[in-house]
Amino acid sequence: MQPTVIDRAGDPRIAEYVGLSDPELRRRVEEDGGFFVAEGPLVVRTLLATQHRVRSVLVTRAQYDALADVLTDLAAPVYVVTPALMRETVGFDLHRGAVATADRYPLPSVRSVLAGATRVGVLERVNDHENLGGLFRNAAAFGIDALLLCPQSSDPLYRRSVRVSIGHVLTVPWTRAAPWPAALHELQAEGFRLVALTPAADALPIDDLVPAAGEKLALLLGAEGPGLSAETLERADLRVRIPTAPGVDSLNVSVAAAIAFHHVTYVRR
């Protein structure tokens, strides 16, 4: 399919890309419209390699040429604009020059996400979109099989989360676990040991966590500031901490997750 050149920001064919910099507007438009946005050439390329239904792609001429190997045979429409028109449409200088929209999809069941998994991350009330995206990128990097999110965690398909994850919200299996925290029993029923990360001084140092051969582990991670709720901590089988220098209270949740993910997959598997 040949690309279509667009010469004005008000063209209705690119209406889904208007105002990407307005978070409240975008959240409402995307959720009501049943789609999500993939921003940047690497993320667009990742999206096009998945089974998700692409609605359209908006690119500058330079990025069309760079992505020609995956765009030429794409069934969805591809719109080409100038960098100035791209900026006028999305509302900021999208210097990466490539963005796409795709249909949202039904979330799988917890049981199907856990099938065959031995290492999973469980997120409680992680509401920062950049942290959420970073968690997905870390999960992909360190061999985590799936992520489960409590109902109060933010939307992984929000544009900033997708971008920060470098598209790995589309490659790492995930779903919501509800009701919360009772849904943690489902993990235990599937044979997972619940390991809660906490800065508490009486928690086991993570270096002393030595999983048994073939053991299934679920790492529980809470939002920055409040951390895991007392009820979730009570349901954990084990509490572990990442030792830090004196005077450092805790780590960014994405950083803590990276250390823990690496430990249970590459160091102690």
Give the tens place of pLDDT for each residue, 217-259: 999 999 988 899 999 999 999 999 999 998 888 899 999 999 9
3-state helix, strand, coil in the chain (%, to 5): 35, 20, 40
CATH class, range 4-103: alpha beta
CA dihedral angle for residue 242, residue 247, residue 251, residue 255, rounded to 10 degrees = -80
Q: Which three-class secondary structure state does DSSP give residue 203? A: coil
Instruction: Answer for the pair 102, 75: CB distance below 8 angstroms, yes or no.
Output: no
Report the distance separating Cα 26 and Cα 129, nearest Å.
14
Report the distance separating Cα 132 and Cα 153, nearest Å.
9
pLDDT, one tens digit for every residue, the chain (269 residues): 689 999 998 899 999 998 887 777 677 777 778 999 999 999 999 999 999 999 999 999 999 999 999 999 999 999 999 999 999 998 877 768 999 999 999 999 999 999 999 999 999 999 999 999 999 999 999 999 999 999 999 999 998 999 999 999 999 999 999 999 999 999 999 999 999 999 999 999 999 999 888 899 999 999 988 899 999 999 999 999 999 998 888 899 999 999 999 999 886 55
Report the distance separating Cα 85 and Cα 111, nearest Å.
45
pLDDT at 268: 52
Instruction: Answer for the pair 128, 160: CB distance below 8 angstroms, yes or no.
Output: no
Roughly what angle, to the nearest 10 degrees, separates helices 253-262 and 129-141? 10
pLDDT at 226: 84
Report the distance separating Cα 15 and Cα 25, nearest Å.
13
Q: What is the pLDDT of residues 28-56, one digit of tens each?
A: 777 778 999 999 999 999 999 999 999 99
Token representation of residue 186? 């489902």
- State residue 257 phi and psi, 5-degree precision: -65, -40
Residues contacting 69, CB < 8 A, separation 6+: none
Report the distance separating Cα 236 and Cα 230, nearest Å.
10
Instruction: Answer for the pair 78, 54: CB distance below 8 angstroms, yes or no.
Output: no
Domain ranges in the chain? Answer: 4-103, 110-267
Whole-structure pTM value: 0.93
CATH topology of domain 110-267: Alpha/beta knot (3.40.1280)
Report the distance separating Cα 120 and Cα 87, nearest Å.
39
- Cis omega before residue 181 (within 30°)? yes
